[in-house]
Amino acid sequence: MTLSGLYVPLITPFDRSGAVALDALETIAHQALDAGARGLVALGTTAEPSSLTTAEQQAVMDVTSRVCHERHAQLLVGANTAQALDALADRPEVVAALTVVPPFVRPGEEGVLAYFTRLAAESPVPLVVYDIPHRTGQYLSAATLHRLAAVPGVMGLKYSPGGINADTIALFAQPSDLAILGGDDTFISPLLALGAHGGILASAHLATGGFVRLIEAWHTGDTTTARLMGGRLAALSTALFAEPNPTVIKAVLHAQGQIPTPDVRLPLLPAHPHTTKTALDAVTAVARPLATQRG
């Protein structure tokens, strides 16, 4: 099994009582797959997992597992500890765990390698390493990422370096069996141009089909479509990440009538109305025919 294409890291919608809106979650999950997403991510950082109770997390898992079973879709799950990984053993729909580089402690690159080697050896499912140094505080070089690719049980990388740098070029220059999924939404087009297999993109809650089309365009060599779509989708992602994720995404989905409230849980605060309006305009722009940009 390989990881490629678009994976949507699902939000956790809340109803007016503050409870998880499971019906809305199920609808959003189906809509993402209807639009061409290869799979879903449950309990990723976009889902606000640290603010969910254990019972809420289990309910989210029940919904996403059922949807992926019904749709024969791939399910990734955010799981960062041995205990969380063990809980996935009875979830046959889960193809991999999305596991972040240990944040805050900054163990060094050798420590990260040792950590993932042990975690992967004990995990009932393969790991997709989530490299996001501007949040974890731990930078990983291209050489270390290639060494991670050789760790048994590590099948992929969610690559979110915060831009394109020399190590990005070095990472893609050397062939590897590691599935590299772009995680910086704004930079997904250049990452695909360099050779990324796909993306785990919160922005793809909106314009899901556009992101699917972007990935397919780069993979098939349709560079004209890829460049035009890449520009539009980068503008959309910039608007959606103008405030902490997933506040703007939730505000836009609520404005579109797709979720009952735009609510997030502390420490997040709701998106500003002006930010929401800018993002809604960007969604509209993505939907325009590409030919209008060529003229």
Q: Would you name the residues annotated as active-site residues?
A: 130, 158
Closest CA to 254 of 66, 74, 21, 7: 21
Helices (H) and strands (E) in the chain, counts: 13, 8
Rounded CA-CA distance 186/258 in Å is 23
Q: How many CB atoms lie within 10 A of CB 130?
A: 24
Type of residue at 62: D
Torsion sign (Cα): 247, 249, 250, 255: positive
Rounded CA-CA distance 6/35 in Å is 10
> Is 190 buried (19+), middle (13-18) or exposed (0-12) by CB count in 10 A?
middle
Rounded CA-CA distance 183/295 in Å is 32
Say how many residues make up the chain: 295
> Is 269 buried (19+), middle (13-18) or exposed (0-12) by CB count in 10 A?
exposed
* Alpha helix positions (H), 123-244: 133-136, 142-149, 166-173, 188-194, 208-220, 223-240
Per the structure block, which two tokens stand in for 192?
Answer: 């695909």
DSSP 45: G
DSSP 182: E
Residue carrying the six token digits 């063990």: 86
In degrees, to the nearest 5, what angle opens at C-alpha 227 toward C-alphas 222 and 246?
115
